[in-house]
Structure 1
Amino acid sequence: MKMGEADVAKKVFEKMHTRDLVSWNSIIGGCVKNARYEEGFSYFRKMLRSEYEPDGFTFASIITGCARTGALGHAKWIHSLMIERKIELNYILSSALIDMYSKCGRIEEAKAIFDSVQKEDVSVWNSMINGFAVHGLASDAIAIFTMMEEKNIPPDAITFIGILTACSHSGLVEQGRKFFDLMETHYLVHPQIEHYGAMVDLLGRAGLLEEAFDLIKRMLVEPDVVIWRAFLSACRTYRNSDMAEVAVEKISRLESGDYVLLSNTYSSLRQWDSAARVRDGMKQKGVHKGSGKSWVETGGLIHHFKSGDHSHPETVEIYKVLEKLISRTRMEGFMSSTELVLMDISEEEKEQNLNYHSEKLAVAYAILKSSPRTEIQVSKNLRTCIDCHYWMKIVSRILNRVIIVRDRIRFHRFEGGLCTCGDFW
């Protein structure tokens, strides 16, 4: 069901005089597939009040919604309902639950489920490996892979995407090379575009740009925009504008992220004219920079924020909390990473730009609505920036709180002034 079709489906469903289990599952599943998670949750609650009991298909859809939003409160509620209603776990539901808890920041619960369920199907193992991967726990992911070998569960292509991603997030270059070779030589799993992408990401993050570029040239499949974007991101991190331009030339259809990465690379080198040229190109082609969005779950509701957002009903209180946090972090030595701001403007203006990133607003709101020392969890649609990452570390220390941020790439757990990523993301 596509986005436009979803609206039609909703109208048809609302007009139905009689609804059966299939129609309920269709509308809930359609909402989740179209990223209308809150609508999916709403329909699920209505279903619970109807004469029809949710089945395994219903729970599979709603679990996916919890995983994609990172809504831990919803996740716990859904899981408790499954236990209460004695829903039998098959490999699909087991995999989904492991994935849900992993993406809701509860890797311990995910592992507990993994340990308790049947594991004949490779998808259950893959969910656990991917869970450890996004949490940056490469040694745990490798341990699960070793268990698979001992249990004679043959890994598939998805297994190796997970294990290579785990190596990438932990900077395990040698292990990543080993698994990439092992995949084809021992398990006869031929590298696909996703495996090459994970390797380019691994090598690029480690600063091995020449090796990453050589791998791209040796690929047995045509490099796609994702491959070149991963390489472009590495060029930005290591401030290599020449290679960044090569990557951009190879991307057949530029999207806003590609322009922004190139502009970031020029800006970090203080090549303002080149950065301005890229921004002008965006304007001429009508390309808009994708906006960062963050969300946090409190009181059973999911609250959304954009950078510099003033739309929330409690905006005044949120900004008061944020300003106090900014003041306290500065007293602890925090200095904004103003080189990240793309424009050639004053340092003061750059600081203002960075101070109100969406994840900072979400954290401020979570602090406003929670008790001291309780854990905070925030999700974001983009990769968290260096400035926010450094700021979160200091906030976790001065407030003595655990702050978990799930960005587009992985989980960051801030505690006592440190992050589980080891500043490698």
Structure 2
Amino acid sequence: MTMMSPPPSPSPSPSLHVGHHHPSPPLLHLTTTITNSQHRTHRLVSPSTNSRTNSTPNTQSPSNSPLHFQLSANNNLYHWNALISKYTKNNLCYEAILAFQHFLQTDHTPDNFTLPCVIKSCIGIQDLGTGLAVHGIAVKLGLISDVYISNALVTMYGKFGYLEDAVKVFDEMPQRNLVTWNSLILGLLENGCFRESIDVFVELLVSEDDLIPDVVTLVTLLPVCGDEKDVLVGRMMQSLAVKLGLYCDTMVQNALMDMYLKCGCMVEAGMILDRNENKNVVSWNSIILGCSKEGEVEQTFQLLRNMQSGRNSVKPDQVTVLNVLKVCLHCSQLLKVKELHGYSIRHGVECDQFVANAFIAAYARCECGSSLCLAENVFNIMKDTSSSSWNALISGYAQNGNPLKAIDLFVKMISLGFKPDWYSIGSLLLACTELKLLRYGKEAHGYVIRNGLETDLHITNSLLSFYIQCEKPLSAKIMFDGLKNKNLVSWNAMITGYSQQKQANEALNLFRTLVSSGIQPNEISVTSVISACTQLCSIRLGKSVHCYTLKNSFTTDIFVNSSIIDMYSKTGCIEASQNVFNQSDKNHIGLWTNLIAAYGIHGNGNEAMKLFYEMQRLNMKPDHFTFISILMACNHGGLVKEGLKIFNEMQTIHGVMPKLEHYACLIDMLGRARRFDDAMLLINEMPEEPDARIWSSLLSSCRVHGNMELGKKVADKLLQLDPNKAENYVLSSNLFASFSKWDDVRIMRQRMKKLKLKKEVGCSWIEFEGKVYNFFAGDKALPDIHDMWRKLENDITRRGYKPETKCVLHELTEDEKVDILRGHSEKLAVSFGLLRARKGVTLRIFKNLRICEDCHNAIKLVSKAVDREIIVRDNKRFHHFRCGHCSCGEYW
């Protein structure tokens, strides 16, 4: 048999490898070796550190123990073996080895019963030194050929990762039994040598030992076939089980079912369950867990019902409930969590701490106010809460809209003596981030430092996210630069933070540093940097990152592909978005939602509608975000009738309750269509109070359609609700200016000045040869560009262009207004593009504000005059100008 190189050894004495065959020392010397090893082991294995080996050391020495006390000095070999065996069977490994030490000082000689017990105890407390010494004793006494001793040694070397020595002992055995083969196979599997273990299994089948694999062999190998997703080997095992008459064994069937579930073969797993006539709770738990992991909600609950029906019903246990809860966590459906909770109570499933904590987490994850109350109810009736219980509740409140409650719970947890861990501190920092409570977050940072927790990377990464999300990027950068052992999560916290805080260039630069440092980015890193490219509206950078994802096989990830679709759509390449969608796995709702949104912002509402109904035909259920996307698409496309129909179906057919975002889409849609009465009726019937976003969109529609009466009321509402936002005063001022209410305009501007608010200056930009060129409204220092626009203006005037001076909301003469219109930023950007770009190349212009009616009409005519496509993205949507027409159909 081929010997493999051993992994890094946990042993303190690697020089004692059996494979080197050191001369066997006398027994008295070995006694000293064992004693010295025991002194080391006793220091390492204490009541507080021994949980890892499941050995609970007894502080009594064997000479003081009750069992040993009954033995006289004339105890024979049988009594010593009984004592050592008793200690070993009761997992008192340290005491067993001490008893063996005393035994060696007698006139008795250990036999093939003594040594396997001692070797097992060496494994129990991870004392390889003593195990090596026992190996030497076996060699000295000529017992090494005994199959029981050799089996124990094979197991020991496998457990310690010394595979070369395990194989050497195995090869030198004159006689092997099935335990020998099973021990070597298990040792190889535990050290990650799956293929080698299969080779050994094949050798077993053809060996001269004339042995037949048993249940233990199959049950040892099948779970690893599942872990390795090797369904072919698993099927071979199934065929062998049938041939050997082992297929009907419940343990084998459970292992086969588990293997198929891990390989994603739900049908085969179900067939094994159906044929199993002796299903036990393990059988049902396995199939339920597999189904739960697949996200099959109804099927998982049906299996739970089937479990207790029929002649061979099985009572669910805590594991059953925990497995079903996994699918509830996946779908975050409150009704299903409540159904399972009631089921577990009715069927007498003990609600221990693990189950209670899981229910708290499940309730807390459901995005519903009442679900948090239910989580707290479970928490309050618990007899013994733990840090995990507190963590689940705190996390629920922090993530679901009640960060103040999360902070209160954290304070209460500490006051009751519970010590917060990385999870609870992370939830606290998340709550502080939501509320932008910099002081509280700094206090948490102080607590971390005082309690020596700053070396915990989980906490450090939470602090990085906190500082950068609270707009303290410099503090985050100083902390990040000072980290000695930063991991990928640390890098992602910074890159994601920069991206979310609209610091796209910093995110890109840090991503470049990450890649150059040799650390492999993951899907989170890539998704964040794609978002940064989207913010910069840089098609060049976006394509570069897309190429990176293709080269590094990230495009199999749904979230990466969704981000790429979004990036291309927001940089004006809707065709590229469609191509990425076509090449992706379409079984994820996020891809459909993003493509629907893409067509929406490009004004192609009909295509968005086709996608919306096509996904339903393919049994894809639209969610909260899908309905936002399709309603926005209807809004931009002027599909009011269709939008109202979908809004109604959202509740009646799909069971999705509308939130503020859905109402905002619908009210904006009605306002753009001049249906102000319907918009106000909907506002009055809403279950929630309208926010500033809703009033802002309605005010904008009032200005566009000249509804001064309603507009004045809406402006008052908006300024009461959000009096510190400059945009709200600008919208109100523009309404008054459109009706020449100059006194009211001056009042708005005075209020802005008093509050030190500034109007956002119009800015447009265009990317050319790898550089981004910015243009600001009214910039006079660009003579060649202004000359270019004058030429274009003369051309389009012959084609019917007339300046829309009503777009200039200032008290000026007509000539002054025309001059201001010429200086609009998008006109400057178009002129620059026509001066620099090659003939026929599509111009892509991006603007921070909504395009005005005059620029829209002018650029539409320019596209025909120069025979070139011009794409303009303002802060609302895209306009594709071709041959004197716009994709918006004059509806924007």
1:101-147 deviations in whole A, cap 9, x for unaligned? 11111111111111221122211111111111111111111111111
Does residue 147 in structure 1 map to residue 617 in structure 2?
Answer: no
Tell me the amino acid that sits aligned with residue 290 of structure 1: E
Q: Secondary structure at the match of 1:305?
A: strand
- Counterparts of residues 35-114 of structure 1 (less than 5 Å): 35-114=502-581
The secondary structure found in structure 1 opposite 2:766 is strand
- SS of 2:563's equivalent in the other structure is helix
Cα separation, 2, equivalents of 1:15 and 1:388: 50
2:210 aligns with none
Are residues 1:200 and 2:670 paired?
no
Query: Cα distance 1:207–1:88, how it changes in 2: closer, same or farther (>3 A)?
Result: closer
Q: Deviations over 1:346-373 (max 9, x none)?
A: 1111122221122222222222321122
* CA contact 1:6–1:34 (8 Å) conserved in 2: no
Give the Cα–Cα distance (whole angstroms) in 1 for the partners of residues 862 and 722 of structure 2: 40
Change beyond 3 A, Cα 1:267–1:89: same
How far has the Cα of 1:69 moved from its partner? Answer: 2.5
Could you list the per-position Cα deviations for residues 263-322 of structure 1 after superposition, in whole angstroms to 9, with x for gaps in the alignment?
Answer: 2222222333333333333333333222222222122222222212368xxx44433433
Q: For 1:301-380, list aligned pairs within 5 A.
A: 301-309=771-779, 315-380=782-847
Distance, in Å, in 1 between the alignment partners of 2:755 and 2:712 is 18
Alignment of 1:215-364 (within 5 A): 215-251=682-718, 252-254=721-723, 255-309=725-779, 315-364=782-831
- Deviation track 1:50-80 (CA, whole Å, cap 9, x = no partner) reads 3223332221111111222221111111111
* Alignment partners' CA distance in 2, 1:301 and 1:27: 25
1:136-161 Cα deviation digits (max 9, x unpaired) = 11111111111121111111111111
> Bigger shift: 41-50 or 195-204?
41-50
Which residue number in structure 2 is paired with residue 398 of structure 1?
A: 865
Aligned to 1:416: 883
Q: Is the 8 A contact 2:727 2:759 kept in 1?
A: yes
Q: Is the partner of 1:379 in helix, strand or coil? A: strand
| Aligned partner of 1:121 among 579, 588, 592 | 588
Distance in 2 between the 1:233 and 1:83 partners?
43
- 1:213 positional shift: 1.1
Amino acid at match of 1:174: K
CA distance in 2, matches of 1:345, 1:164: 40
SS at match of 1:304: strand
Aligned equivalent of 1:168: 635
User: What SS does the aligned partner of 1:217 have?
Assistant: helix
Q: Does 1:211 find its partner at 2:678?
A: yes
> Which one of 652, 658, 674 corresponds to residue 185 of structure 1?
652
Structure 1 residue 214 displacement after superposition: 1.1
**Distance in 2 between residues matched to 1:84 and 1:184, nearest whole Å:** 43
- Give the distance between the partners of 1:263 and 1:67, measured in 2 at CA: 32
Could you tell me how far apart the structure 1 residues matched to 2:479 and 2:796 are?
53
The answer to whether the 8 A contact 1:114-1:124 is kept is yes
| Consecutive unaligned residues in structure 2, runs of 5 or more | 1-467
Tell me the distance in 2 between the aligned counterparts of 1:277 and 1:23.
Answer: 49
* 3-state SS in 1 of match to 2:760: coil
Tell me which amino acid in the other structure corresponds to 1:309. D
- Compute the displacement of 1:393 (Å): 0.5
Mapped to 2, the partners of 1:19 and 1:298 lie a distance apart of 37
Contact 1:21/1:54 (8 A) holds in 2: yes
Which residue is 2:452 aligned to? none
Query: Which has the larger displacement, 105-114 or 325-334?
Result: 325-334
Question: Quick one: which amino acid aligns to residue 263 of structure 1?
Answer: S
Could you say what secondary structure the match of 2:472 adopts? Answer: helix
Q: 1:316 to 1:51 in 2, by over 3 A?
A: farther
C-alpha displacement of 1:47: 3.3
Cα distance in 2, alignment partners of residues 76 and 91 from structure 1: 18
Pick one of 836, 849, 855 that aligns with 1:382. Answer: 849
What amino acid does structure 2 have at the position aligned with 1:363? V
Matched residue type, 1:124: L
Task: Pick which of 315-324 and 397-406 moved more.
Answer: 315-324
In 2 relative to 1, CA 309–39 (structure 1 residues): closer, same or farther, beyond 3 Å?
farther
Aligned Cα RMSD in Å?
2.0
Take 1:357 and 1:389, find their aligned partners in 2: how far apart are those partners?
11
Identity rate of aligned residues, in percent? 35
Q: Distance in 1 between matches of 2:478 and 2:765?
A: 28
How far apart, in 1, do the equivalents of 2:575 and 2:691 lie?
36
Amino acid at match of 2:520: E
Q: Distance in 2 between matches of 1:276 and 1:296?
A: 34
Identify the range of structure 1 (121-130 vs 276-285) with the bigger mean alpha-carbon deviation: 276-285
Change (3 A) 1:92 1:283: same
- The AA in structure 2 aligned to 1:253 is D
SS at match of 1:303: strand
- Aligned partner letter, 1:160: F
Counterparts of 1:325 and 1:42 in 2: how far apart (Å)? Answer: 39
The letter of the residue matching 2:559 is I
Letter in 2 for 1:75: G
Deviations 1:202-225 (A, max 9, x none): 111111111111111111111111
d(CA) in 2 for partners of 1:61, 1:399: 38
Highest CA radius of gyration, 1 or 2?
2
Rounded Cα–Cα distance in structure 2 between residues aligned with 1:239 and 1:88: 48
Measured after TM superposition, the shift of residue 227 of structure 1 is 0.8
- Per the TM alignment, residue 196 of structure 1 is displaced from its structure 2 partner at its CA by 0.7
Cα-to-partner distance string for 1:221-245 (whole Å, 9 max, x where unaligned): 1111111111111110111111011
Indicate if the aligned counterparts of 1:267 and 1:340 stay in contact, CA closer than 8 A.
no
Q: Which has the higher contact order (CA 8 A, sep 6+)?
A: 1
TM-aligned CA distance change 1:45 to 1:303, over 3 Å = farther
SS at match of 1:297: strand
In 1, distance between residues paired with 2:803 and 2:595? 37
> After the TM superposition, which of the residue ranges 238-247 and 21-30 deviates more from structure 2?
21-30
1: distance between equivalents of 2:558 and 2:508?
23
CA distance in 2, matches of 1:416, 1:406: 18
Matched residues, number: 422
Structure 1 length-normalised TM: 0.93
Provide the rounded CA distance (Å) in 1 between the counterparts of 2:515 and 2:678: 55
1:149-197, Cα deviation, whole Å (9 max, x unpaired): 1111111111111111111111111101100100111111111111111
One-letter amino acid of the counterpart of residue 167, structure 1: C
Change (3 A) 1:246 1:165: same
One-letter code of the match for 1:69?
A: L
